[in-house]
Amino acid sequence: MPADPPHRAATPQRSTTSQSTNGSRASAIEVRRSSRRRRTVSAYREGDRTVVLIPARMSEAEEQRWVNVMLDKLAAQESRRALGDTELAERAERLSAQYFDGRVLPRSVRWVTNQNTRWGSCTPSEGSIRLSHRLQGMPEYVVDYVLCHELAHLLVPGHGPRFWRLLEAYPKTERARGYLEGVVAAERLPHLPGTRDEGTPSEVSTP
């Protein structure tokens, strides 16, 4: 993944380190501020650490928001690269063991390209789960939520109270639902002139 060149010693900057809280695979986050960086935010993996490079002018609130944005982008890139049908099925099995006591074991889990109005579906009589290809490239915790949603449906049809109680076992349910609602809302917005996404998925411009 592309990384910015190291800052020279003459470049004023501040570095802070914290633990990841958004489901990223990295266990620690290092934020490096630089007065030479004006508009772009970059992030890359460095062993078990994620390094996020931001402009020095950012407030603490902006820093936290952009750290979350960049963690999601990195996780999305890794999810898109790593999860084929086989990995998806293995992930569903692990999620079943972790959140549903292994009570549900789907016979098949696969990506499909014919689901443009829903994120996932299942057929309880066949024990099959299908995920929309639109999820590819989204953060892993979002993909995991949709898998858990469909696993829960293999146990409980419909969206009654029992279904939602079952899904409460997955701790990032509300976060993932919010992410997907944001995607749907963004798809309905017209393109705004003058906006652009600079750089790679691990580098974006700030307003």
Residue 104's pLDDT is 92
Residue 15's pLDDT is 52
Residue 127, token pair as written in the block: 């024990």
Residue 197's pLDDT is 34
Report pTM: 0.58
Residue 85's pLDDT is 85
Query: What is the rounded end-to-end Cα distance, in angstroms, of the chain?
Result: 24
**What averages of pLDDT result for each successive group of 10 residues across the chain (207 residues)?**
38 49 59 86 83 90 90 75 80 94 93 90 93 87 94 93 94 93 79 36 48
Instruction: Please tell me the distance from the alpha carbon of residue 38 to that of residue 99, in angstroms, as a whole number.
Output: 44
